Amino acid sequence: MRFINPIPFVRDINRSKEFYRKTLGLQILEDFGNFVLFETGFAIHDGRSLEQTIWRQSPVTEESYGRRNLLLYFE
C-alpha cells in the first residue's frame, strides 16, 4: 500500500478550483465536476458529493469544510 494524495472536501468546487489554479498555479489534469485532479497529484472533492458516496447520507450539520474533512487516499 502506498500513499497517493490528500483530498480535502470543499463546499464550492468551482471557487476552490479557481483558487488552486489561479492563485497557486496548479494545472488541472482531470475535471469530473465533483472531483478535480491536478497535475501534481493533489485533488479536491465536493464535500456533499463525497459524503453521500462514502456514508450514503448528506451531513446533518452545516459544519465548514477544511477542518476534520480530509481524505487520505492510499492504493
Q: Looking at the chain, how many residues does it have?
A: 75
The CATH architecture assigned to 3-74 reads: Roll (3.10)
Q: In angstroms, rounded to a whole number, what is the distance separating the alpha carbons of residues 55 and 14?
A: 23
Burial of 63 (C-beta count, 10 Å sphere; 0-12/13-18/19+): exposed
In the block, cell 488552486 appears at 20
Q: Where are the domains of the chain?
A: 3-74
Q: Which residues of 43-55 are buried (b: 16+ CB within 10 A; e: fewer)?
A: bbbbbbbbbeeee
pLDDT digits (tens, 9 = 90+) for 35-45: 999 999 999 98
pLDDT digits (tens, 9 = 90+) for 17-29: 999 999 999 999 9
